[in-house]
Amino acid sequence: MGAPEPKVTTETLRQKKARGEPIVVLTAYDFTLGAICDQAGVDVVLVGDSVATVMQGHDTTVTVTLEQMLYHCELVARACKRALVVGDMPFLSYQVSVEDALRNAGRFLKEARVEAVKLEGGRRVLPAVESLVAAGIPVMGHLGLTPQSIHQFGSYRTRGSDSDEAQRIKEDAQALAAAGAFALVLEKVPAALAREVTAGLPIPTIGIGAGVHCDGQVLVSYDMLGLFTKWKPRFARRYAELGTTAAGAIERYCEDVRARRFPNEGESY
């Protein structure tokens, strides 16, 4: 039996960028899916606030609470032995004050046992990022389409398509890196912009709808597995159709119960 693979750390990700080795990121929200991601070789498991849409049935990520995120993070962290586990800080858990941000981020590490946190925004969140990093809490940034700001944006359109917004994203990316962020998610930005940002940063970029030239890629697991079908983003490649498979299995179970084919003698005591 071979030795276990070494634990992925923030330094591992920096080394991968230096080697030009792509970083694999997926979301998970419970112990079972976290364990599957970990055993399949995913580098970073993000416990995303997308739990609000794909598990809770809401239209945005804004509704998920801090306590709910801590709960889901603890389930996933318990499952992951190799992958770096990152917890998404939910809306208003870090925007009110630096003190709030530090206190809440600390709970992610102490109570939920994640190894890093992610928060959305550029220069407006720099004081929080600097405070967290100074306290020893690794921070992943998030620019481009930031879903927690959907009511301000008004739509899920691509961000950074015009020159002014593209410049702001580039400046924000540099500022986050300087503040100590160990990685940066770029969501739904033009591929050319993502490539430029990636080339100019000392830290890894993780793309979602941002083209192939980021240092890594992330998808919502329920999208790529075909479990969430309410909408299908253009960037979300389906690697399975587990929703259809599960529905078929449940239909067969219903039929077997109603026809008294389940349980059979071998499934009884």
CA 252 vs. chain centroid, Å, equals 34
Query: Do 151 and 226 share a domain, yes or no?
Result: yes
Residue 102, token pair as written in the block: 């530090």
Q: What digits encode the pLDDT tens for the residues 205-233? A: 999 999 999 999 999 999 999 999 888 88
The pLDDT score that the predictor gives to residue 153 is 77
Query: Do 139 and 115 share a domain, yes or no?
Result: yes
pLDDT at 78 over 70: yes
In a domain, 75, yes or no: yes
Query: Do 251 and 203 share a domain, yes or no?
Result: no
**Rounded to 10 degrees, what is the CA torsion of 24, 201, 8, 191?**
0
Q: What digits encode the pLDDT tens for the residues 245-256? A: 999 999 999 999
| More confident call, 13 vs 232 | 13
Rounded to whole angstroms, the Cα distance separating 174 from 168 reads 10
Residue 55 near residue 228, CB atoms below 8 Å: no
Query: Do 54 and 176 share a domain, yes or no?
Result: yes
In a domain, 5, yes or no: no
Residue 47, token pair as written in the block: 């416990």
In a domain, 128, yes or no: yes
Query: In angstroms, what CA-CA distances link 42 with 36, 57, 216, 237?
Result: 9, 26, 11, 16
The pLDDT score that the predictor gives to residue 231 is 83
In a domain, 2, yes or no: no
Give the position of tokens 């206190």.
Answer: 103
H helices of 180-228, where? 191-200, 221-224
**Average pLDDT along the chain:** 96
| Predicted confidence band of residue 3 (pLDDT cuts 50, 70, 90) | low
Residue 30, token pair as written in the block: 């419970």
Rounded to whole angstroms, the Cα distance separating 182 from 54 reads 27
Query: Do 169 and 142 share a domain, yes or no?
Result: yes
In a domain, 78, yes or no: yes
Looking at the structure of the chain, the number of domains it has is 2
Q: What digits encode the pLDDT tens for the residues 36-45? A: 999 999 999 9
Residue 47 near residue 86, CB atoms below 8 Å: yes
In a domain, 216, yes or no: yes
> Which residue range is the domain that position 267 belongs to?
243-269
Query: In angstroms, what CA-CA distances link 204 with 30, 63, 193?
Result: 26, 29, 15
Query: Do 181 and 231 share a domain, yes or no?
Result: yes
Query: Do 259 and 194 share a domain, yes or no?
Result: no
The pLDDT score that the predictor gives to residue 154 is 72
pLDDT at 34 over 90: yes
Query: Do 248 and 231 share a domain, yes or no?
Result: no
Mean pLDDT, residues 180-193:
98
The pLDDT score that the predictor gives to residue 63 is 96
Let me know if 251 is a catalytic residue. no
In a domain, 98, yes or no: yes
Q: Which of 120, 165, 187, 241 is catalytic?
A: 187
In a domain, 4, yes or no: no
CATH number for the domain that contains residue 218: 3.20.20.60
The pLDDT score that the predictor gives to residue 16 is 98
Rounded to whole angstroms, the Cα distance separating 158 from 210 reads 9
Mean pLDDT, residues 81-103:
97
Nearest to 204 by CA among 5, 16, 3: 16
Query: Do 250 and 209 share a domain, yes or no?
Result: no
Query: Do 89 and 208 share a domain, yes or no?
Result: yes
At 70, the amino acid letter reads L
Query: Do 165 and 267 share a domain, yes or no?
Result: no
| More confident call, 84 vs 149 | 84
pLDDT at 4 over 90: no
Query: Do 196 and 263 share a domain, yes or no?
Result: no
